[in-house]
Amino acid sequence: SDEDELFSVEYCGTNCTLKNDGSWTKCNGNCTCYHEEGKQDGLCLSTEYTDFTQFPNLTSAEIADATPRPQVTKSQ
């Protein structure tokens, strides 16, 4: 489900600009240049998806541990 994923965007601290040949200046590392249509400058942003299904949900585990177990009755 969509609730299990978080899309995070971080500003990389640098900008990118449109060069005379129509290409954009490169951003560092995993950062990508994002710019508005018709603008000649943009921002270097790092985007990633975090999939929380990869991590145990500690709250659910704590709730399960606190839930009373059904008592087993011995048959005679």
Q: What is the pLDDT of residue 6?
A: 76
- 46-73 residue pLDDT tens: 988 766 666 555 555 555 666 666 666 6
Q: Which pTM value belongs to this model? A: 0.55
Question: Looking only at Cα atoms, what is the longest distance across the chain?
Answer: 90
Structure-token pair, residue 69: 């177990």
- The percent of residues in the chain predicted with pLDDT above 70, rounded, is 58
Length of the chain: 76
Query: Between the CA of residue 30 and those of 5, 9, 43, 49, 68, what are the distances in Å?
Result: 20, 11, 13, 13, 48
Any idea where the domains of the chain sit in the sequence? 2-54
Q: What is the mean pLDDT of the chain?
A: 79
